Amino acid sequence: CDSNFDELNTNKVSATSIDPAFQLNAAIVGCAYPNGSLIYDIGVVQQIISPNSGVLTGANYNQDNRNATQELWQGYYRNVIKNTRDVINRIQDQPERSNLLQMTRIIQAFAFMVLTDDYGSIPYFEGGQGYSQQVYLPVYDSQEAIYEDLIKELTEATSALNLSGRVETADILYAGDLNKWKSFGYSLLLRAGMRLSEVDAGKAQQIVQTAFQGGVILSNDQNAVILHDPNYTNTIGNLLNSTEASNFYLTAPFVDYLRSKNDPRLSAIAITYVGAKSGPEQTVASGTYDASVHVGMPMGNDNAGAVKAASDLGLASFYEFAQADRRRVAKNTAPNFLVTASQNNLLLAEARHRGWITTGDVESYYNAGVRAHMEQLGFVDENSAIPSDEVDAYLAANPFDASKALEQINTQYWISSFMNGPEAFANFRRSGYPILDTNPFPGKEVDFINRLTYPNSEISVNSENVNAAISSQGPDNLATKVWWDK
């Protein structure tokens, strides 16, 4: 009575297998930062904030908004880790796909590093093993253990890339260019090593050396970047062009700092809608890039406070505060950078300053880092391009000062990581730079946000494991510091 049932229960229109390279592509696309990164990461480092509450509550008020804190978690586990684990599971015994395996391990390490940097303890060893191992409720691992393994993974994967092996041409990050993948892998290793500077300097040095020797991304044409298009839009860019177009503004600390240094990047990033009294009045016609016009929104305001602040500053309304330009750097199709030459040069500047590497000099790395970011802006949008003479002028006017090396380098890293929320947030916590004032919002829960809180769904579904993590790491709030943050 069930003669043809096996055949009947075979899906004739869906694939049971696809080329794992396409899954790696999905994982790479999934690495783009979600809206929660705007509401927290970018706000914590005081670059962009919203005066509005409710859905947009976050680093603007230094309050916990779990709907925003969970976005990175959900996006990365569901879109990145799910795919990388599956790819690794499927091809680990296929020597001919070894390069793809290593590339996948590198992307997976990137994602896990972002996750642990934002949340601290996370499901790592059992994370993403729902299908391969039937682990529905994974245990959490300490950040220390995670970093240990990330470093191992990155080291192994990078060195295992076989330059004479198969070229994975479907790869959307580097079109299978294994040299670039190697650089990308070592760049992440460099990043991981630097992350340990406060918690284990010796180990940090050793790892940074390994990474540096391996060769990291040092030019913009090697940048790890997701090139969004009208079909695969930049999530944050989409938000800033749609529902929240008039609700996010550059902060006063960020605008003021850039202007104080005559930084040409202010014009490249910002737009002010002169005389705008409302969202609908923020038209192209009223927009200007003129650096002298831009006014950043002071930190710590709610909606009414922003109205008052605008009035105190002589603006037509808070809609006249400067915005990250939604038609240039925050456009729908803005590229999403994972690792840049600018960031690496600045990390190397610090490493050289600390004496962890011995090649090159600090200032050269510093200058290269600043220059790379300025050039990178022109890559984002041609209307944000900064002429090289302006770069030179900036560097001449703001020369590297070895006595303020760490502050200068990491403040540049802050600017350089604009719109790269997780990295800006992580390096700010690690280095302590730039020096930012505490958020003055009266209702804040913490002075500075040190981590993101776990999703409500974890508290509900995976409570035993999340509680174990909380009891070893500290309370599940915005104040608890992650392991490497001393």
What part of residues 105-124 is at the interface with another protein (CB under 8 A)? Answer: 122-123
Task: Report the residue number, 402 or 461, with the smaller CB distance to another protein.
Answer: 461
Judged by CB under 8 A, does residue 269 bind another protein? no
Judged by CB under 8 A, does residue 1 bind another protein? yes
Helix H or strand E segment including 337: strand 336-339
Q: Edge to edge, what strands does the sheet with 270-273 contain?
A: 287-288, 270-273, 323-324
Judged by CB under 8 A, does residue 407 bind another protein? no
From the CB of 343, what's the least distance to another protein, in Å?
23
Judged by CB under 8 A, does residue 131 bind another protein? yes
- The residues in 335-394 that bind another protein, with binding defined as CB under 8 A, are none
Candidates 433, 429, 396; CA nearest to 412 is 433
Q: Tell me how many degrees the CA angle 237-243-42 measures, rounded to the nearest 5.
A: 45
Binding piece for another protein, criterion CB under 8 A, among 209-217, 258-266, 339-347, 461-469: 461-469
Candidates 436, 47, 73; CA nearest to 240 is 47
- Encoding tokens for residue 208? 């940074």
Beta bridge mates, 141 = 122
Q: Out of 233, 340, 376, 412, name the contact with another protein by CB under 8 A.
A: 233
Judged by CB under 8 A, does residue 448 bind another protein? no
The letter for the amino acid at 482 is V
Judged by CB under 8 A, does residue 160 bind another protein? no
- Encoding tokens for residue 53? 């509450």
Cβ within 8 Å of residue 239, ≥6 positions away: 35, 38
Task: Report the residue number, 256 or 445, with the smaller CB distance to another protein.
Answer: 445
For 92, other C-beta atoms within 10 Å of its C-beta total 13
Q: What span, in angstroms and rounded, lies between the C-alpha atoms of 215 and 186?
A: 6
Judged by CB under 8 A, does residue 284 bind another protein? no
Q: Out of 41, 71, 153, 171, name the contact with another protein by CB under 8 A.
A: 171
Task: Report the residue number, 138 or 193, with the smaller CB distance to another protein.
Answer: 138
Q: What span, in angstroms and rounded, lies between the C-alpha atoms of 203 and 214?
A: 17
From the CB of 344, what's the least distance to another protein, in Å?
23
From the CB of 232, what's the least distance to another protein, in Å?
5
Task: Report the residue number, 266 or 466, with the smaller CB distance to another protein.
Answer: 466
Task: Report the residue number, 37 or 332, with the smaller CB distance to another protein.
Answer: 332
Cα-Cα-Cα-Cα torsion 73, 75, 80, 86, nearest 10 degrees, comes to 90
Q: Out of 163, 201, 304, 402, name the contact with another protein by CB under 8 A.
A: 304
Query: DSSP code of 196?
Result: T
Each residue 67-96 as x (binds another protein by CB under 8 A) or -, in order, gives x-----xx--xxx-xxx-xx----------
Q: Tell me how many degrees the CA angle 392-398-401 measures, rounded to the nearest 5.
A: 125
Contact criterion met (CB below 8 Å) for 232 and 292 = no
Residue reference for tokens 């009223």: 286
Candidates 237, 330, 310, 319; CA nearest to 281 is 319
From the CB of 246, what's the least distance to another protein, in Å?
7
Q: Out of 462, 482, 484, 485, name the contact with another protein by CB under 8 A.
A: 462
Q: Out of 238, 344, 427, 439, name the contact with another protein by CB under 8 A.
A: 238
Judged by CB under 8 A, does residue 443 bind another protein? yes
Q: Out of 93, 96, 164, 230, name the contact with another protein by CB under 8 A.
A: 230
Query: DSSP code of 176?
Result: T
Number of residues that bind another protein (CB under 8 A): 101
Contact criterion met (CB below 8 Å) for 49 and 297 = yes
Q: Out of 182, 259, 444, 451, name the contact with another protein by CB under 8 A.
A: 444
Q: Out of 144, 215, 232, 383, name the contact with another protein by CB under 8 A.
A: 232
Binding piece for another protein, criterion CB under 8 A, among 58-66, 99-107, 370-378, 424-432: 58-66
Task: Report the residue number, 137 or 167, with the smaller CB distance to another protein.
Answer: 137
Q: Out of 88, 145, 167, 172, name the contact with another protein by CB under 8 A.
A: 172
- The residues in 33-52 that bind another protein, with binding defined as CB under 8 A, are 52
CA distances from 119 to 29, 147, 150, 274, 461 (A): 21, 13, 16, 40, 18
Contact criterion met (CB below 8 Å) for 234 and 334 = yes
Q: Out of 149, 177, 200, 445, name the contact with another protein by CB under 8 A.
A: 445
Q: Out of 25, 210, 323, 439, name the contact with another protein by CB under 8 A.
A: 25
- Encoding tokens for residue 141? 């691992």
Judged by CB under 8 A, does residue 307 bind another protein? yes
Half-sphere exposure of 483 (CA within 13 A, CB side): 22
